[in-house]
Structure 1
């Protein structure tokens, strides 16, 4: 099997790849798409975060996908360039072959080269060890807060684990500010990465 990796800003995604990514997301997270027609699905769902997609193709078939959004946040009086991971998925027939981890590690390299201060995101608790292999650690008592300050969307109410990785010396120096903390992303109502 010959694999090819693509990297692009989601807004520049080729239409055939876009259709496959959306179909994979609908299979992986059907509850997020309940009641929506294809024309009502906004992808990328938040252009302000300038998401970059990493896609692994076998011939012309998307077999893995990882999205890397980013934004500047304020936390404990400091400004940080923060990256997330989301839309991480692999077609069932290709799972348990290390392909998803390969893509996650490629995303980590991209984040590191993008002058990131840190990366923080949420995942289902059974996936903590997967992301640990990719270089992240679980921040057990840290909550990621999406939504808005007026209408927060808290990761701890969803039963999600928070994963974090410090890249810049300044972020590592302020590591304790992220322990047992609420980290606000302010992505928009009901949005969390």
Structure 2
């Protein structure tokens, strides 16, 4: 496993990540908003090829009268020929551990498709029932409860002195922008 700031990702890995993401999400743009301090975590095979990739995004959010240093997982993707072998779970668990050890992270919040909840729970994340993330911008919001979405919100609270109770069943103004509209 290796981690790079997005701007420092070697070209050979960047090309592989872009190909994996294009396969998983045809037509999507590769890369993340530099304002979210993106880091790319990779799980490599023995030959140095990317098996799994994900991005860690960061920003401050205001919620329940407080400011939190939030991080989120985005663009988790496994090479199609390597799926079903636990590689994705290993990288997601490693990402959770890295964020938990980061003193600059109070909480981790992200959304996923409902069928993926058990996958993220197995890596140690907690589902927040009834919680809605509002992404995009205040002028162009995108919420996880938008019509046609089947999203759930997951979290971890490594550095926050208030845990899940402040975030469960809440609408959380994430607003990561128009590049990473919803992480």
Give the TM-score taking structure 1 as reference length. 0.87
Deviation at 1:99, TM superposition (A): 1.0
Which stretch shows the higher mean deviation, 182-191 or 91-100? Answer: 182-191
* Residue 159 of structure 1, CA deviation: 1.7
Secondary structure at 2:145's aligned position in 1?
helix
Kept after mapping to 2: 8 A contact 1:118/1:171 = no
Match for residue 188 of structure 1 among 171, 177, 180: 177
Q: Which of 28, 37, 51 in structure 1 is aligned with 2:38?
A: 51
Secondary structure of the 1:69 match is strand
The alpha carbon displacement at 1:29 in A equals 0.9
Match in the other structure for 1:139: 128
1:159 correspondence with 2:150: yes
Unaligned runs of 5+ in 2: none
Going by fraction, where is helix more abundant, 1 or 2? Answer: 1
Structure 1 residues 187 and 95, CA gap change in structure 2 (3 angstroms): same
1:105-153 deviation per Cα after TM superposition (whole angstroms, max 9, x unaligned): 1111110111221111011111100000111111120001111122211
Match of 1:29 in 2: 25
Bigger-Rg structure (1/2): 1
Displacement of 1:166: 1.4
Which of 107, 112, 118 is 1:118 aligned to? Answer: 107
Matched residues, number = 178
Structure-2-length-normalised TM-score: 0.92
Regions of 4+ moved over 6 Å: none
Contact persistence 1:73–1:185 (CA under 8 A): yes
* Aligned-CA RMSD value: 1.4
- What's 1:170 paired with? 161
